[in-house]
Amino acid sequence: MLSNIRKLIIDNCSIINQKCVLCGQPRARKGLCAGCRAMLPRMPVERCPRCAEPTVGGALCGHCQRQPPAFDALHVPYLFAYPLNGLIHAYKYGRRLQLAGVLSGLLTEFASCQGHKYDLVIPVPLASARLAERGFNQSSELAKAFADTINSRFSDSLCWRKCNTLPQASLGRAERLRNVRHAFDVKRRCDGLSIAIVDDVATSGATLSALSKMIKKQGAKRVDAWVLARAFSLKT
């Protein structure tokens, strides 16, 4: 009941007397006017069914054929490109926490059309030092809204990040995999559970795969990843 009340309040605040966060136009639905919403960079329809990398005819990509990730599927509505990348950067690093509702709304609108059900929804955890530095976990806000939308349980205590790792953006694919290989741990058994991991951005999927691997070691039957945007690194 409380989650439904929270969702109603957020929805009303997002619709009534709110200006577009991109252009400032009044009466923007959930923080974005129709024009700016149309500019958002949508993912190609034809993409790898495992990692969401664009492929011809929606075939399984080469990376997933050679070394499939531990998660079963990556679900993502947008590319990490203009103007969405600026909103995510401002929210994540510029402490513009008011953007949480706008970004969560974009992910939950996508999720509500997919019909997936999970026993548990979790965010990608931050290391304690990174959490103290940033002041919040941007993935937790997305995960809470996602869980409310699909009527699932939310938990931010199932997994933890054991240490800070190098920023993934500065690394190539192989380095990303090594960087997060032992970064996560899971606190309890997940026998037979279907779990959704939520994050803001995915590039190689290495972080999501490393966390999924640890969750499956604890008995989860399925682990899907959900992110707002997919970035593509020029490094291999």
CB 226 within 8 A of CB 146: yes
What is residue 18's predicted lDDT score, i.e. its pLDDT? 83
The answer on pLDDT for 4 being more than 70 is no
pLDDT in tens, 62-90: 999 999 999 999 999 999 999 999 999 99
Q: What percent of the chain has pLDDT over 70?
A: 84
Element (H, E) at 195: strand 194-202
pTM, full prediction: 0.87
Mean pLDDT of the chain: 88
Which residue would you say has higher pLDDT here, 201 or 17? 201
pLDDT in tens, 153-181: 999 999 999 876 645 555 555 556 666 77
